[in-house]
Amino acid sequence: MTVNLLRILSTIWLSILVTTTVFAQAGRKISAIEAEGLQSLTPETVIATSGLKVGDTFSVEATDAAAERLLSSGLFNKVAYRTRTVGNNVTVTFQLAEVKGQSSPVVFDNFIWFSDEELAAAIKREVPSFNGSAPDIGNTNEAIKKALQNLLTERKLPGQVEYNLTEHEHLFRVAGVSMRICELHFPGAQTVSEEKLIQATRSSMDREYSRQSATIFPKYGLYPIYWELGHLRASFGEPVAKPAKNDACEGVDLTIPVNEGAKYSWARAEWSGNQVLTAKELDDALAIKPGEVANGKKFDKGLHEAQEAYGKSGHIEAHMKPTPEFDDAGTKVTFKIAVNEGPQYHMGTVEFKGFSADDAFILGKRWNLKSGEVYDRSYATRFFRDDAREIMSRIIQQRQSQGKPLPIPSSRENPDRQSLTVNLLIELKD
């Protein structure tokens, strides 16, 4: 009887404690929310991310859940909190340590129905802390994906949002929808016709629209057209994509603005750092005359010829850094070219591979660039044109009679940077 009575009294006492606690919490309100330890984030961002609001009824369970939301956001690597109660007013103070250097930009790859501002506004409804970037850890990116998918659903648009963390960014794109590029526009194109730019784009760029591709492609696929014509400062604006209003093609209407810039003529090259070759020898290799169009393609070829000129004297590691200086008033360009000639290499050994033993022996005997002599990168070409021509002609005839592909001799340099010698492998490949 005594034992049973104690159990009943204990149960009544526990019930009174729980009931008292519940009523105590129910009567208390959150009067303030504070954040300690912030470095770059604002208290407003913390409050919005936590989900707590001033005026809410205070409860330990809700505050624990808010702390968990902060931690799982990926913005913080440490989250704790304390409370201070005065009467029925509770101040919640979060003690935080921000994650540093672990966020990346958010990129919207093919949301052609919305502006970036509209997408950001939709995300902020789900992720109040969103500022154009997102933590590389935590669940923020899943929340962004959810917000974007909700936006598609609200607008009754098809497609599924996909997410991928690349090396430099958080990439969001829509899958399951036709993104074929139907129409192309290049406002600002004059010297180069818009039609030519359209043809170059359609022949080289992916036909499925991607913001990344449309941003990067002009630099490599269209700028060389202007580079060759002397429009050395041509540039391209941000691509603008929208749904195509074309009954014959369901997809994307893409606009890429063009700023052709001035057409420059060649003034001169100013060389520095060169000792082995004179400025005149380098100018001759460049082969561009003052007053002619500053043809960038010709300039690139001329720099290659200048490097080859160094290769003839053993300076196979010579490289050049050109810096343009523009005279906009006279539409002329001067290139200041810093030369690093590098060390001089000498001939090491030569090996002939893919030839018969007899042919390899004869070729070795005819090879006149001896070990220890200054290495000449151009010698191998002259050797096969002159000294090895008879052997190569015979090999070609044999291959043709057998219906085999014509042989192509290739050479591979193996420089030894300690002894400054070059061991050369010449291989006959089908």
Q: What is the CATH number of the domain that holds 240?
A: 3.10.20.310
Cα–Cα distance for residue pair 92/420, rounded to 1 Å: 71
Per residue in 301-336, pLDDT tens? Answer: 999 999 999 999 999 999 999 999 999 999 999 999
Domain boundary among 153, 175, 197: 175
Tell me: do 86 and 7 sit in the same domain: yes
Tell me: do 212 and 271 sit in the same domain: no
- State the pairing for strand pair 170-175/103-108: parallel
Tell me: do 20 and 86 sit in the same domain: yes
Give the number of C-alpha atoms closer than 13 A to the C-alpha of residue 241, restricted to the C-beta side: 23
Tell me: do 119 and 49 sit in the same domain: no
Q: What is the CATH number of the domain that holds 111?
A: 3.10.20
Tell me: do 353 and 424 sit in the same domain: yes
Tokens at 318, concatenated: 């010579």
Q: Is the pLDDT of residue 417 over 50?
A: yes
Cα–Cα distance for residue pair 15/31, rounded to 1 Å: 29
The answer to whether 228 and 297 are in contact (CB under 8 A) is yes
> What integer pLDDT is reported at residue 4 of this predicted model?
42
Tell me: do 192 and 245 sit in the same domain: yes
Q: Is the pLDDT of residue 12 over 80?
A: no
Q: How many CB atoms lie within 10 A of CB 371?
A: 11
Per residue in 73-94, pLDDT tens? Answer: 777 878 888 888 888 888 899 8
Q: Is the pTM of this model over 0.95?
A: no
Tell me: do 107 and 94 sit in the same domain: no
Domain boundary among 194, 228, 259: 259
Domain boundary among 98, 120, 151: 98
Residue 222: give the domain boundaries: 185-259
Tell me: do 355 and 424 sit in the same domain: yes
- Report, as an integer, the average pLDDT of 6-34: 52
The residues pairing with 93 across neighbouring beta strands, listed in sequence order, are: 34, 82
Please report whether residue 336 resides in a domain. yes
Please report whether residue 225 resides in a domain. yes
- DSSP assignment string, 110-143: S-TTS-HHHHHHHHHHH-TT-SSEEESSSSHHHH
Across all residues in the chain, what is the average pLDDT? 89
Q: For residues 388, 389, 395 and 397, what is the CA-based torsion angle, rounded to 10 degrees? A: -170
Residue in the structure block whose two tokens are 């290049």 = 186
Tokens at 374, concatenated: 């200054």
Tell me: do 11 and 79 sit in the same domain: yes
Stated length of the chain: 430
Please report whether residue 180 resides in a domain. no
Please report whether residue 61 resides in a domain. yes
Please report whether residue 285 resides in a domain. yes
Stronger pLDDT, 23 or 339, i.e. the higher one: 339
Domain count within the chain: 5
